[in-house]
A = this chain, B = another copy of it.
Amino acid sequence: MKVKVSDAIAGFFAKNGMTHLFGIIGAGNVHIFDSVYQNHDIEMVCVHHEQAACMAMQVYYRTCGKVTASVLTTGAGSSNGITGVLSAWADSIPCLVVSGNENSKYIHPGNHLRMYGVQGYDSSFMVQKITKYANRVMSPEMTLYELEKALWISLDQRPGPCWIDIPMNIQSSFIEEDDFLHFTPGQPDAEIQEKAAKSLNKAVAEIVDELTASKRPVIWLGHGIKLAGAESMITELMDKIPSAYLVSWAGIDMVDSDHPLLFGRAGVYGQRAANFILQNCDYLLSIGNRMAIPQVGYDITELTREAKITVVDIDTTELDKYPDRFNRTVHADAKDFLTALLGEVKAKPFAANHFSEWIKRCNQYKADFPWVDKEHADTKGFINSYKFMQRLNEDFKPDQVVVTDMGTALLSGHQVLKIKPGQKLMTSTGLGEMGYGIPAAIGASFARNKGEVLCLNCDGGMMMNLQELQTIAHYKLPVKIIIFNNDGYLMIKHTQKNIAHGRYAGVNKNSGVSCPDFSKLAYAFGFPAWQIRTWEDADKMLPELMACETAAICEVFMDPEQFFYPKLGLSVQKDGSLISPPLEDLSPFLDRETMAKNMLAGLHPKSQKIEP
Contact = CB atoms under 8 A, between A and B. Distances in A.
A430 B46 contact: no
Nearest to A320: B112
A63 interface: no
Interface residues of A, number: 90
B90 A86 contact: no
Contact of A506 (B46, B294, B470): B46
Contacts of A231: none
Contacts of A514: 470, 473-474
A511 interface: yes
A83 B80 contact: yes
Given A115-B430, A317-B112, A467 B470 contact: no
Contacts of A294: 118
B114 A89 contact: yes
A489 B48 CA distance: 11
A117 B294 CA distance: 9
B26 A492 contact: yes
Contact of A464 (B117, B467, B500, B521): B467
A496 interface: yes
A344 interface: no
Interface string A349-388: 0000000000000000000000000000000000000000
A196 interface: no
B75 A79 contact: no
A30 B524 contact: no
A15 to B, nearest CB: 20
A583 to B, nearest CB: 15
B75 A86 contact: yes
Contacts of A516: 469-470, 473, 524-526
A37 interface: yes
B114 A75 contact: no
Contact of A48 (B80, B112, B113, B464): B464
A520 interface: yes
Given A27-B491, A34-B505, A90-B119, 19 more contacts: A34-B499, A34-B503, A38-B503, A46-B512, A46-B513, A48-B463, A48-B464, A49-B464, A75-B86, A75-B431, A76-B435, A112-B317, A118-B293, A466-B466, A466-B467, A470-B514, A516-B524, A520-B523, A521-B521
Interface string A512-532: 111111001101111000000
A5 interface: no
State how many copies of this chain the complex holds.
2
A181 interface: no
A34 B509 CA distance: 16
A306 interface: no
For the complex of A and B, list the 9 residue pairs with the smallest distance between their C-beta atoms, beginning with the closest: A76-B433, A520-B524, A37-B505, A25-B506, A46-B512, A48-B463, A33-B505, A463-B467, A34-B500
Interface string A91-121: 0100000000000000000001111011101
A112 B315 CA distance: 10
A135 interface: no
Given A470-B463, A474-B512, A516-B524, A172 B80 contact: no
A511 B45 CA distance: 10
A122 B509 CA distance: 32
A8 to B, nearest CB: 16
A34 B496 CA distance: 8
A317 B500 CA distance: 48
Interface stretch (A123-131, A447-455, A539-547): A123-131
Contacts of A467: 463-464, 466-467
